[in-house]
Structure 1
Amino acid sequence: MTGRQAARWLAIDPGDKRIGVAAGSMPEGLAGPVDVVDAKPFDKAVARIIQLAAEYGAQGIVVGWPLNMDDTEGPQALDARKLAQTIAWACDLDVRLWDERLSSFTADQALKGTLTRQKRRARQDALAAAAILQDFFARNGAATAERIAKPR
């Protein structure tokens, strides 16, 4: 690296049962799967995500935001927003929402034929988080993603 410190980010792919986690850095734009966290109980999932952010020295967390194809927020997108708000309120990190439509599909396609269905599902969430983070880096998400404000 030449004089510029890498900005480290964590990305999460929230789901009803599991939350995929990936880590990566800019300006390299590299991201890789880190962990899969149980989504319930909710407070323990939030605590684990914040712990992983600290372990990886993340300056921010990108939360996958599964918008509908017409750009509206459905129930899953609202759940992702709630998770992002809870994380933002519980730590001093920059928390962003990032459109993650089709990230799970992309991860599933990458794994298809390589693992049993059960093992594929276990890894799919973390790979989807890595896909979210790669897209965030590629599209300059730090400058364009919706930032979650902390309560006053």
Structure 2
Amino acid sequence: MTIAEGCILAFDFGLKRIGVAVGNTLLRQAEALQIIHAPGNDAKFAALSKLIQQWQPVLCVVGLPKHPDGSEHEMSVRCQRFANQLNGRYGVPVVLVDERYTSAVLHAQRGEHIDDDAAALILQQYFDETP
């Protein structure tokens, strides 16, 4: 998939929180942006709509959790559904990136809510693995 130059938003999707990071195709560096704390889907997508409108991304990257052996995680289907909703609602291409250890590694290091930093790691992984 060839991506136009511009902003990329990345998401570490969770049932309680969604971590968000931003980067661009020119610098290829990810930066933690914010954590969306919203009580329901309507509130989550209202916050996401504001971000999409503000940043006008050319691509969204969503972390796809997997077990260490590469098999699907219980959150895999939910993350895939979230990615499909982003694409369907906003018309922005979406790429799923294996996030096998991002949140676990950060949580072990800092022991606090690190969803935005996990999103930044997911986006940086995308940049590092994509020519």
TM-score range, shorter chain: 0.7 to 0.9
**Distance in 2 between residues matched to 1:107 and 1:27, nearest whole Å:** 26
TM-score (norm 1): 0.75
Contact residue 11 and residue 132 of structure 1 kept, 8 A: yes
TM-score (norm 2): 0.86
**Equivalent position SS for 1:64:** strand
* Aligned residue in 2 for 1:126: 116
**Distance in 2 between residues matched to 1:40 and 1:76, nearest whole Å:** 18
- How far the C-alpha of 1:48 sits from its partner, in A, is 1.7
**Distance in 1 between residues matched to 2:89 and 2:78, nearest whole Å:** 17
Structure 1 consecutive aligned stretches of length 4 or more whose deviation exceeds 6 Å: none
**Distance in 2 between residues matched to 1:135 and 1:82, nearest whole Å:** 21
CA deviation profile, 1:95-134 (whole Å, cap 9, x unmatched): 1111111111233355x3xxxx5xx32xx00000000000
The structure whose Rg is larger is 1
- How far the C-alpha of 1:44 sits from its partner, in A, is 2.4
Which letter does structure 2 place at the counterpart of 1:96? Answer: V
Q: 1:39 to 1:139 in 2, by over 3 A?
A: farther
Aligned length: 128
Contact residue 107 and residue 131 of structure 1 kept, 8 A: no
Residue 54 in structure 1 maps to residue 26 in structure 2: no
Please, which runs of 5 or more residues in structure 1 have no aligned partner? 144-152
Identity %: 29
**Equivalent position SS for 2:20:** strand
- How far the C-alpha of 1:45 sits from its partner, in A, is 1.2
**Equivalent position SS for 2:36:** strand
Q: 1:109 to 1:56 in 2, by over 3 A?
A: farther
Over the aligned positions, Cα root-mean-square deviation in angstroms equals 1.9
**Distance in 1 between residues matched to 2:58 and 2:39, nearest whole Å:** 25
**Distance in 1 between residues matched to 2:91 and 2:72, nearest whole Å:** 26
* Aligned residue in 2 for 1:139: 129
Q: 1:50 to 1:97 in 2, by over 3 A?
A: farther
CA deviation profile, 1:60-119 (whole Å, cap 9, x unmatched): 110110012222222211110111111111111111111111111233355x3xxxx5xx
